[in-house]
C-alpha cells in the first residue's frame, strides 16, 4: 500500500493567507476556497466587495480541479474548443479557469479555487496560495 501526503489545517491556513495577500496586493476582491482531494471544503473566505455569486463559484472551481487532478482551465478550453458534451460530466460544475490542483510527487492533495476577477487573475491568486507551502 502506498502512502500519500494530506493537507493539514496549518497548510490550509498558509495557502489561504498567501492567496489573500496576493489578492489584496492587487486590489482584487475575490472568494477563495480550498478543498481536499475528494473536493470537500476545508476553507472558504469572501473578501469585502466581491459579488456574492463568487462564494459558490470558487468552491466549484476548486472541487473540479481536485477531482480531475488538473486545472479547471483545461475543461473550459475543451468546451470552448467544441467538446460541449463535457458540460454533462457528473460532479463537475466549476468548468472555468481559476481552480488549481495542489500536487505533490504526482499526487493530488486538493485544490484552490478563486472567483471574482478575470479568470487568469483568479488562477494567479490560487497559484500564489499553493506556492506558500512550497509546491
CATH number at residue 88: 3.30.450.150
Q: Specify if 14 maps to a domain.
A: yes
Q: Specify if 3 maps to a domain.
A: no
| Cross-strand pairs, 111 | 35, 101
Region of residue 41 (left: phi > 0; alpha: psi -120 to 50; beta: else)? beta
Strands in 15-116 per DSSP E: 31-36, 41-46, 99-104, 107-115
Q: Specify if 16 maps to a domain.
A: yes
- Sort strands 41-46 and 31-36 into parallel, antiparallel or unpaired: antiparallel
pTM, two decimals, is 0.96
Task: Tell whether the model's pLDDT for residue 117 goes beyond 90.
Answer: yes
Task: Supply the range of the domain harboring residue 20.
Answer: 9-131
Q: Specify if 4 maps to a domain.
A: no
What confidence category does residue 92 fall into, taking pLDDT thresholds of 50, 70 and 90? confident
Helix (H) or strand (E) holding 58: helix 54-68
What is the per-residue pLDDT across 55-85, written as a single tens digit (0 to 9) for each?
999 999 999 999 999 999 999 999 999 999 8
Amino acid at each position: 500500500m502506498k502512502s500519500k501526503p494530506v493537507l493539514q489545517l496549518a497548510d490550509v491556513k498558509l495557502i489561504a493567507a498567501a492567496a489573500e495577500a496576493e489578492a489584496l496586493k492587487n486590489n482584487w476582491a475575490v472568494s477563495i476556497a480550498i478543498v481536499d482531494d475528494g473536493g470537500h471544503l476545508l476553507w472558504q473566505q469572501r473578501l469585502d466587495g466581491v459579488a456574492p455569486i463568487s462564494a459558490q463559484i470558487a468552491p466549484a472551481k476548486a472541487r473540479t480541479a481536485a477531482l480531475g487532478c488538473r486545472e479547471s482551465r483545461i475543461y473550459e478550453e475543451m468546451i470552448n474548443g467544441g467538446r460541449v458534451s463535457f458540460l454533462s460530466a457528473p460532479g463537475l460544475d466549476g468548468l472555468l479557469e481559476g481552480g488549481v490542483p495542489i500536487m505533490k510527487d504526482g499526487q493530488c492533495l486538493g485544490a484552490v479555487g478563486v472567483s471574482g476577477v478575470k479568470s487568469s487573475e483568479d488562477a494567479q491568486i490560487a497559484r500564489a496560495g499553493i506556492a506558500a507551502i512550497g509546491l
